Amino acid sequence: MERYYVTTPIYYVNDEPHLGHLYTTVAADVLARHARMSGKEVFFLTGVDEHGQKVEQAAAARGIAPIELADAVVERYRSLWPRFSISNDDFIRTTEGRHKRAVTEMWKRLDAAGAIYKGFYEDWYCVPCETYWTGTQLKEAGAWEGKTCPDCGRAVEQVREESYFFRLSDYQDRLLDHIRAHPEFIGPESRRNEVLRFVEGGLRDLSISRTTFSWGIPVPGDPEHVIYVWIDALTNYLTAAGFPGEMPHWPANLHLIGKDILRFHAVYWPCMLMAAGLPLPERVFAHGWWTVEGEKMSKSRGNALKPDELLEQYEADVLRYFLLREVPFGQDGDFSFAALKARYNTELANDVGNLLNRSLSMLHKYRDGVLAAPADEEEGDRALVADVEGMQRDVEAALARQAFHEALERINAVVRHGNRYVEENAPWTLAREGRDARLDTVLYHLVETLRLVALQLAPFMPVKCAAMLAQIMNAEVDVAALSLREHGGWGLLAAGHACARPAPVFPRME
């Protein structure tokens, strides 16, 4: 069976879950659900990143041990995801024993390959970003005078300490070759170019241990040093796959991340894997950032949207839909309640909801809810069927490129087609004129279109689609068990099948 391994980043425990975390996790969930429906054996991983100076400091500020902080925050994530129908197969914590073993083994392999040496580290460090900057980088960014972080603008501190280094520079050419030979390795295209330019500019060896704090995994044989949090964190993708044991799921098919952590995933991570003699992930895709009502989301502004608070007002599926529909995946976007309402009312209430409601209402009004076999198809019927079949292919292709917005737009096009089809065929006139065969054909085409639309929407809105399918199939439908191969063919609804009475699935938002 074909495998599909997809990951989200593991989220820091010094922060609370917010819209950005939800975004990546929902996107990965849609791909995981779609891959399962396509018959693949899916492994979908998410989790939390617990080590590092930031966490140590956040815990100290609250007067608790780092592990206490981690234990509390991890529950916030764990309890949140099911409320958004997130179907992850594993949830990793970097404080778990399996992860410590994997990271320790990773270090040993890098060391055995001659990729690690001890030296002195003299640089500028941004604590909140956990990023090191050279003096040159600060000058280039115009941040030298104020000694501020080129990314976040906060103060950087100078450090000189003994440190282990990873020979990143040794892998520059191999990495360039790999990126050039595998155009699909980094997406979207603009990010790929960005990484190419960065690597072409020259890679500097990477400091991969710290002695100034202790909340981390110790360097094997030199416990004064803790392993740099990114070496620790990136290895999670291997840990969950079984490293250093058998890894049936590795290499991952896709690491979904935000654009801010692209360098770690598309430069450091592949070089580490090359050094350790392990295969590289197939693809890394970096999505854009959300602002909220036009403003940057941040802790200090206090405007970070909390997913659990959003649930007090909106259904999870509606949020899932909006996040993936509103912004082309890969670009930045703005979250606004007005835009959410507009999308919902236009595309879900007016288009999908209306088509479902009017189709099932007419089926009940004219045929007591029972479908009859379609008679001879006319041109317009064939066009609808062709459009539905085209949708199935196009959604598949769009999701293979992580183009969620295109997939949803394509499904919506079929829904609009369905509503046009109602107008063009005017079933009320067919009923009045007693054109029974024609009326049966039109009603059949409508319900079958709706069934296949619901099937395509199921990875995006599992709860809403279960409700749609419950009415169409007149039975409870387990969306997790849906199969595109088994249920995706046109014409599977049998003559004589009775649909349930319609009940609004997408009532208008006022």
Q: Of 4, 5, 6, 21, which lies in the binding site for ligand MSP, with binding defined by CB under 6 A?
A: 21
CA 329, CA 257: separation in Å to the nearest integer?
11
CA 357, CA 373: separation in Å to the nearest integer?
21
CB 157 within 8 A of CB 151: no
CA 26, CA 1: separation in Å to the nearest integer?
25
Q: Of 4, 23, 215, 321, which lies in the binding site for ligand MSP, with binding defined by CB under 6 A?
A: 23
Q: According to the binding rule CB under 6 A, does residue 11 interact with ligand MSP?
A: yes
Q: According to the binding rule CB under 6 A, does residue 14 interact with ligand MSP?
A: no
- For the chain, the C-alpha Rg in angstroms (whole number) is 26
Strand order in the sheet with 116-126: 131-133, 116-126, 157-166, 206-207
Closest CB 286 distance from ligand MSP, rounded Å: 8
Point out which span in 4-12, 359-367, 377-385, 417-425 binds ligand MSP (CB under 6 A). Answer: 4-12
CA 91, CA 106: separation in Å to the nearest integer?
20
Q: According to the binding rule CB under 6 A, does residue 366 interact with ligand MSP?
A: no
Q: According to the binding rule CB under 6 A, does residue 262 interact with ligand MSP?
A: no
Q: According to the binding rule CB under 6 A, does residue 10 interact with ligand MSP?
A: yes
Q: According to the binding rule CB under 6 A, does residue 24 interact with ligand MSP?
A: yes
CB 369 within 8 A of CB 502: no
Closest CB 158 distance from ligand MSP, rounded Å: 24
Q: Of 84, 164, 215, 290, which lies in the binding site for ligand MSP, with binding defined by CB under 6 A?
A: 290
Q: Of 86, 186, 234, 280, which lies in the binding site for ligand MSP, with binding defined by CB under 6 A?
A: 234
| Torsion on CA atoms 192, 195, 196, 200, rounded to nearest 10 | 180
CA 214, CA 302: separation in Å to the nearest integer?
30
Nearer to ligand MSP (CB atom), residue 188 or residue 427: 188
Binding mask 51-90 for ligand MSP (x = CB under 6 A): ----------------------------------------
CA 288, CA 354: separation in Å to the nearest integer?
33
24-to-8, 20, 31, 49, 323 alpha-carbon distances in Å:
6, 7, 11, 15, 10
Nearer to ligand MSP (CB atom), residue 24 or residue 471: 24
CB 19 within 8 A of CB 335: yes
Q: According to the binding rule CB under 6 A, does residue 284 interact with ligand MSP?
A: no
Q: According to the binding rule CB under 6 A, does residue 462 interact with ligand MSP?
A: no
Window 240 to 259, contacts with ligand MSP (CB under 6 A) = 257-258
Q: Of 4, 5, 12, 166, which lies in the binding site for ligand MSP, with binding defined by CB under 6 A?
A: 12
Q: What is the size of the binding site for ligand MSP (CB under 6 A)? A: 20
Closest CB 394 distance from ligand MSP, rounded Å: 26
CB 233 within 8 A of CB 99: no
Nearer to ligand MSP (CB atom), residue 24 or residue 95: 24
CB 68 within 8 A of CB 77: no
By CB under 6 A, name the binding residues for ligand MSP: 9-12, 15, 20-21, 23-24, 49, 233-234, 236, 257-258, 260-261, 289-290, 297
